[in-house]
A and B are shown apart, each in its own frame.
Chain A
Amino acid sequence: MAELLQFIFSGLTVGAVYALVGLGFTLIYNASDIINFAQGEFVMLGGMITVFLVAAGVPLPLAALIAVGLTTAVGLALHRLAIEPARGSSPVTLIMITIGASIFLRGIAQIIFDRRFHSLPSLFGSEPIHFGGATMLPQSLVVLAVAAIIVVLLWLFMERTLLGKAVTATAANRLAARLIGINTRRIVDFSFAISAAIGAVAGIVVTPITLTSYDVGTLLALKGFAAAMLGGIGSAPGAVVGGVLLGLIEALTAGYISSNYKDAVSFLIILIVLVAMPQGLFGRARIERV
């Protein structure tokens, strides 16, 4: 029982990160129909920039703030410099642009930073908390809390603010949104910025647990993408549930079956979900208009 609890703890922690990456995917996808494969690089940038600022003597909170700011700027630049100029291209072209951006950012990161693994000090020390025979790092609680806060803030923002409603309107029907006077280009800008910021925050809080390096982005992007798919792409609650589920499944697989195959099982489950219910857990079925 203690063992199971242990796996659930670690699954929830990783799952929270997948959920945040998946949420980032969903925001951009809803605003622009673009699958942003550079999402994982936002996570990497958040972690790496903080690590190097802290190493340079900047206090951790300030370093984290700067990292989020810089990553947000990268997100904005990605939209303005790479996505906007290719507006109206086929989905495959746009996917390739974001993949190109992801390879580019990774390449830049290994030049500016280095190729080694890095960690950050935990916020509340590294003394494990004992609970029901299992242990949990205080930082895991930080990850869970931050993920929950982001999800709630995002929900409040979408439901309660005019800008949030504009984002929702853009996601529902871009043309109609433009007709009622919403600057949809701004909305997409904004989605890229928010996605980047969320990714950066996720990268910062998870670095003390999982470490970071210039190339952590790819697998995170794939898992986050998978989480969004599992939940039903375009659905924000779906991305969160999908992410947590994926994290749990992975942790249980690693614990009970084989840690070598934990990545494999999550992809296998995605394949099964896609085939059995292609719209995901929370998505709506789409009907092609002829």
Chain B
Amino acid sequence: MQRVLDSRIWPLAALAVIVVIAPLFFSSLYDYRIGALVFIFALAVVGLNLLMGFAGQVSLGHAGFLGIGAYAVAIGPTYFALPAWFSLLVGAVLSGIVAFLVGRPILKLKGHYLAVATLGFGVLVAIVLTNEADWTGGPDGMNVAHLMLFGWKVHGSDTWYWLAGATFIVGFVLAANLVDSPSGRALQAIHDSETAARMLGIDVARKKLTIFIVSAIYASVAGSYLALFDGHITPDVAGFLRSIELVAMVVLGGMGSVFGALVGAAVLVVLPQALTVFHDYEQATLGLIIMVFMIFLRRGIVPSLSAAFSGWRR
């Protein structure tokens, strides 16, 4: 019991400290903005990491769910006069349903086939968002109204920093609990060997589908936050590059490491921002970063570091 308490409380406490301490180093609202973006992406990455790191299923189309969440909070208030928070929930439910419908057939696929199927799904969402201009404003995107909570208008980078940080911690706790449950262990068994897991009586298809839906909901909520925070969205939010960025964050941070989500998101949000001084070189540097990290820290930053650390301690 004590051990369980320890293993659950410490990461949580560490995260809370990070969220609270980080602003001490912020010198402007811009830094809060970056911080908020890190937490928002980390939220999506935690979900995707459940799918990739724990269940061992790749998705190259997760930005599709980011897009569904983002456009839900844009379209809901504009066309249906729904409150933004309710639209966020609608988006999450919608993403869950879409994940269920899409996931049922395609999660039977493995490896590269799964990669291309999820990729196809993501690209489809982006194409629909681009073409249904009557609803989405087409390639130019659309404006998103402010989030109102109990009559209080949520705006400003600092407010969003705290909201995103708190949401990330909640998402982290839920994910950590899931990993540590019988369901989570079943997922890891699937990761190791599907056949063996099936022999143990695990309903592999159902477990994979459940985790796909969960990860879709994480991405959807993150997408909604992104849209509400930015106040404007374009179909790029659901694009192939975004999906790649999400996967890169998972792999960079370390697959199967819940902490890795934050590190991966932080690296890939902060570095490009830091590099905007070399505006023309942004893409080239981003590509180079991804390559270099993948080659030299192939297990991801957090697992590589913790391996190095425990080796050094011994």
Contact = CB atoms under 8 A, between A and B. Distances in A.
A117 interface: no
B116 interface: yes
Interface in B209-229: none
B94 interface: no
B196 interface: yes
B113 A229 contact: yes
A161 interface: no
A92 B58 contact: yes
A275 B106 contact: yes
Interface string B123-152: 110011001000000000000000000000
A267 B126 CA distance: 12
B121 to A, nearest CB: 7
B283 A110 contact: yes
A104 B117 contact: no
A107 interface: yes
A278 B194 CA distance: 18
Most buried by B among A93, A97, A99: A99
A82 B289 CA distance: 12
B23 to A, nearest CB: 32
Does more than half of chain B's interface fall in helix, strand or loop, or is it mixed?
A: helix
A192 to B, nearest CB: 15
A280 to B, nearest CB: 9
B75 interface: no
B251 interface: yes
B294 A100 contact: yes
A70 interface: no
B156 interface: no
B260 to A, nearest CB: 14
Contact of B112 (A35, A105, A267, A271): A35
A226 interface: yes
A278 B268 CA distance: 34
Interface of A: 35, 82, 85-86, 89-93, 95-97, 99-108, 110-111, 218, 222, 225-226, 229, 233, 260-261, 263-264, 267-268, 270-271, 274-275, 278, 288, 290
Closest 10 CB pairs of A and B: A104-B287, A107-B284, A107-B283, A100-B290, A103-B287, A100-B291, A267-B120, A275-B105, A264-B127, A260-B131
